[in-house]
Structure 1
Amino acid sequence: MSRTIIATDNAPKAIGPYSQAVQVGNTIYTSGQIPLDPSTGEMIGGDITAQARRVFENLRAVIEAAGASFDDVARVGIYLTDLGNFAAVNAVMAEYFREPYPARSTIGVASLPRGAQVEVDLVLVRG
């Protein structure tokens, strides 16, 4: 099965040797997004709510570049440096998803690239 690389200038460029997303068949795998401003490549300021919104906006840009939407998301992976931010990230996630919700894992981690408080990746299935 062939792979299609998904890329857009509306989301931050990869900061390592990876693609923003890869489609294999009907499945799209996004790389993790942290709260980088796509126009500058720099971390945004603000609290966990602002950071989570930036992450989901970055993900929206990537999945729209693939011709998909949040309705196609089957799984969400969330990585938090402070699990005390769980409720705040839930509130932001609820702005982007509607029932029936995708499956999800939320994992506490010691640190994330560039000092981010949150990182999110997605698996989408189309058709």
Structure 2
Amino acid sequence: MTRRSIEVEGLHHSGNPIPAASRVDRLVVTGGVYGLDPATGEVAADAGDQVRLTFWQLGRILEAAGARFDDV
């Protein structure tokens, strides 16, 4: 089994040196994804925006891992 860290620009764990996700063979794992607004660097105030941004961030993680939502 091979493991690689998945880094996504602008997506972080409060500045800690933790990758956004990891890929082990075909499995992509993340410790948490949230509705971070890239314009402000903060979690969006509106719940609808949080959900939209969370799925946008998940899409970015999947893309960086070489996958798509269709693969989930």
TM range (shorter): 0.7 to 0.9
Q: Where does 1:1-127 land on structure 2 (aligned, <5 Å)?
A: 1-9=1-9, 11-15=10-14, 16=16, 18-46=18-46, 48-73=47-72
The amino acid across from 1:30 in the alignment is T
Whether the 8 Å contact between 1:36 and 1:44 is mirrored in structure 2 is: yes
Greater relative contact order (CA < 8 Å, ≥ 6 in sequence): 1
Query: More strand per residue: 1 or 2?
Result: 1
Structure 2 CA distance, aligned partners of 1:3 and 1:39? 31
For residue 36 of structure 2, give the secondary structure of its aligned residue in structure 1.
coil
Whether the 8 Å contact between 1:36 and 1:43 is mirrored in structure 2 is: yes
Kindly, what percent of the aligned residue pairs are identical? 38
Structure 1: stretches of 5+ with no match in the other structure: 74-127
C-alpha RMSD over aligned residues? 1.8
Q: What does residue 80 of structure 1 align with?
A: none
Could you tell me the TM-score, scaled by structure 1's length?
A: 0.49
Could you tell me the TM-score, scaled by structure 2's length?
A: 0.80
Structure 2 CA distance, aligned partners of 1:61 and 1:45? 21
Aligned residues: 71
- C-alpha distance 39-8 of structure 1, shift in aligned 2 (>3 A): farther
Q: What does residue 102 of structure 1 align with?
A: none
Structure 2: stretches of 5+ with no match in the other structure: none
Asked which structure has the greater CA Rg, the reply is 1
